Amino acid sequence: MAKKSAKRVAEEPLEESVPSDSPASKKARVQEVADEDLPPPPPPPTEQHTNGHTTSADTPDIADADEAQHAELEEADALDDDQDDEELDRSRTVSSRQKEAAEGYQDLYLDSINRTVLDFDFLRQCSVTLSNQNVYACLVCGKYFSGRGVKTPAYFHALEIGHHVYINMETKKVYVLPEGYEVKSKSLDDIKIVVDPQFTAEQVKALDKETPPSWDLLGRKYYPGFVGLNNIKANDYLNVVAQALAHVAPLRNFLMLEDLSSRPQLPQQFSVLVRKLWNPKAFKSHVSPHELMQEISLRSNKKYLLTEQADPVEFLSWFLNNLHLSLGGSKTKPRSSLIQKIFQGSLRVESQTITARADAGDRLLFEDAAIKSQASPFTILTLDLPPAPLFQDDAEKNIIPQVPLTKVLEKYNGIAAQEKLNTRIRYRLLHPLPPYLIMQVKRFLPNKFLQSQRNPTIVTFNPRALDVSPYVEPNPQLHPLGEPIIYDLVANITYEGVKVRDDSVEGEAERKVWKVQVKEGAEYQQWWEMQDLFVDKVNADLLTTKESYIMFWERRKTKAKSKP
C-alpha cells in the first residue's frame, strides 16, 4: 500500500488548472527545482466527443478530476501554512526574547549575586571590546561587558560562564541574561546606591553635623566623608586635593544635589567621586578615583597621570580652572561660575620701576608719581617663607625654623614691598573677600643647579580664628571699619619628605608624601588625617607640627564682636 502522504502527479499542468490571478503562496517551502529534475509529463489523454463535450478516455469526467485535485492541493497548502506559522512564531519568540519573567521566576538568579566582589569605581568599559558605550556590570563576578542583546559580550558571558544578572551602569536597570527580562526587586536597591549614590537636601544639610559611623560588607567601621582614596600608582597629589575640595561645603553640596548630566564629563566624574566619599551605604570602606583620573588625563593631554606624581598646587589651579569652564564660566568675566564665587577674590597690585639715581634714597620706598596700580583677581594666595638657616646651632643640630602665619601674610598688607628684577611690587587684598581663601606656602624653589630645593620652615597658626582684616584695604560700604574678618581652617594639605635609597652619586633621594587634614563638622572640632588609604584622627593642636603646603580657610558667617 502506497504511503498516504505521497502526492500524485497532476494530470494537467498546474498553470492551466489554477487561475492566473490566484494569490502567491505565503512562504516558499523548498527551493526551485531545475526543469530537467521534474518528472516527465503524462501522455495526453484520448479525447472523445459526447453530445458536444470533450471527455477523457481514462477519467469518467474532467470536472470530477479537477475537483479532487483542488481539494488535495488545498489540504497540502493548509498543512504547509500551519507548519510555516509554527516556525515563524518560534523565530519571533527567539528574536524578541522575554520582556518580563514568567510568574514566580522574577528572583530566580538573584541568589547568585556576589556583593563582595563588586567594585564600580574603575573605568566603565567593556572587558572584551574596551568600548565605553552601553556598559553592563556582571553582578556575579563584577566584570564589565557591553550590550545585552544577542551576540554581545554580556550575552555570551551569560551563556558560557553561567552568570545571569547584569546592571546597566548608566540607567541602573538590572536584567537577566540570556532571557533578557528586567528585574524589578527592592533587594537590588543597595547595589544601585553604590553605583550612583543619591542624596536629598535634608541628608546633605546633616553632613555638617557630627558624622555617625557606618559599616561595610566586611564589618569594618568607617565614617562617611572621611574614607581613604586608593593610590593606584602615583596619584596621591590628586587624592589630597579631592579630599580637601570634598569638604568645601558649597562646592560639595552643589556636586551632590545638582543634575550634571548635561555637563562635560569632568564635573560629572568629580560629582560621582564626592558622592561616593560621603556614601553611608558603601560596600567597602575606601574609594578609587580611577574614573576621575582617566578623565583628567584625557582633558589635560596626559599632563596629569596616575603613574607620575605632580605638584598639588599646579594640579589644583588646573582643576579649578577647568571646573570653572565646564560649569559655564567665562574666561574674562570674574565670578561667572560657582568655582569663582567660592574661591575668587581680588587684590591691588602696585608696581614701580627701580631707578639707579644717586639721590633715590631708600630703594624700597615707593614714589607716588611713579606708582602703577591695578586690581587683579586671584584664586590662590602665595605665601613666601623666609630663607631657611644654613648653619647648625650650638648643639650641632639642625634647627627647624618656625614662622607665624600672620607674619608671612604681611606680604598683602599694602606696605611690605618685594623686588622682582627691576620692579618693586606690593599687594593689598580688596573687598569683598571670597567665602573661602586658598593659601599656598611656597616651599619649593629652584637652586642654582635648576633643581627644586625645599624650605622646611614650619608655619604656625590658630586653626579656629584667623583675622585677615589687617591685610584688606578698608571699604566701609562693604565692611565696617575696625571689624575683624575671621576665617577658620577646614582643610590643610601637608608635605613630608621620606628618604629612599638612590643609585645616583648622592646615594639617597627624597620621596614626596602628601597628606591632608580635614575638619569634621562646622561646630564639632574633630580633625582627621588621610594619606591615601590610611585614615586616622588627629589632635587639632598637632596641625601646625607638619609642613603645611595648601590651606583652605572658610569665612565665618556670623560677625565676631571682638578680636579673638
Alpha-carbon span 466 to 485, nearest angstrom: 8
Q: Do the beta carbons of residue 344 and residue 379 sit within 8 Å?
A: yes
Predicted pLDDT at 423: 85
% residues pLDDT > 90 (the chain): 56
Closest CA to 41 of 65, 4, 14: 14
Predicted pLDDT at 564: 43
Predicted pLDDT at 221: 94
pLDDT mean over 19-46: 43
Predicted pLDDT at 558: 57
Instruction: Give the range with max mean pLDDT: 14-28, 349-363, 433-447.
Output: 433-447
| DSSP state for residue 184 in the 8-state scheme | -
Predicted pLDDT at 93: 43
Greater confidence, 417 or 501? Answer: 417
Predicted pLDDT at 365: 59
Predicted pLDDT at 563: 43
Q: Who contacts 125 (Cβ-Cβ below 8 Å, separation ≥6)? A: 131, 132, 135, 144
CA angle 3, 8, 11 (to 5 degrees): 160
Residue 146 has pLDDT above 60, yes or no: yes
Question: Strands 458-460 and 402-404: what pairing?
Answer: parallel
Alpha-carbon span 395 to 127, nearest angstrom: 62
Predicted pLDDT at 39: 47
Residue 13 has pLDDT above 70, yes or no: no
Structural domains in the chain plus CATH codes: 110-192 (3.30.40.10), 194-299 (no CATH), 341-555 (3.90.70.10)
- H-type helices in 395-545, by residue range? 405-408
Cα dihedral: 79, 83, 85, 89 (round 10): 160
Residue 227 has pLDDT above 90, yes or no: yes
Confidence of residue 139 (pLDDT cuts 50, 70, 90): very high
Lowest mean pLDDT among 128-132, 344-348, 498-502: 498-502
DSSP assignment of 212-272: PPEE-TTS-EEBTTB-EE--SSS-HHHHHHHHHHTT-HHHHHHHHHS--TTS-HHHHHHHH
% residues pLDDT > 70 (the chain): 73
The whole-model pTM stands at: 0.78
Q: What is the pLDDT of residues 540-551, one digit of tens each?
A: 888 988 999 999
Lowest mean pLDDT among 43-52, 129-138, 139-148: 43-52
Q: Who contacts 376 (Cβ-Cβ below 8 Å, separation ≥6)? A: 346, 347, 348, 349
Alpha-carbon span 129 to 56, nearest angstrom: 73
Closest CA to 156 of 131, 132, 136: 136
Burial class (CB in 10 A: 0-12, 13-18, 19+), 388: middle
Residue 459 has pLDDT above 70, yes or no: yes
Residue 300 has pLDDT above 70, yes or no: yes
Q: What is the pLDDT of residues 234-292, one digit of tens each?
A: 999 999 999 999 999 999 999 999 999 999 999 999 999 999 999 999 999 999 999 99
Alpha-carbon span 389 to 399, nearest angstrom: 8
Confidence of residue 501 (pLDDT cuts 50, 70, 90): low
Confidence of residue 368 (pLDDT cuts 50, 70, 90): low
Across the chain, what does the average pLDDT equal? 81
Q: What is the pLDDT of residues 313-353, one digit of tens each?
A: 999 999 999 999 999 999 888 889 999 999 999 999 998 88
Q: Who contacts 307 (Cβ-Cβ below 8 Å, separation ≥6)? A: 233, 234
Predicted pLDDT at 102: 61
Burial class (CB in 10 A: 0-12, 13-18, 19+), 494: buried
Residue 362 has pLDDT above 80, yes or no: no
Greater confidence, 505 or 391? Answer: 391
Confidence of residue 510 (pLDDT cuts 50, 70, 90): confident
Other beta carbons within 10 angstroms of residue 55's beta carbon come to 17
pLDDT mean over 148-168: 94
Alpha-carbon span 337 to 144, nearest angstrom: 36
Residue 165 has pLDDT above 90, yes or no: yes
Q: Do the beta carbons of residue 444 and residue 385 sit within 8 Å?
A: no
Q: What is the pLDDT of residues 77-124, one digit of tens each?
A: 544 444 444 444 444 444 455 666 665 566 789 999 999 999 999 889
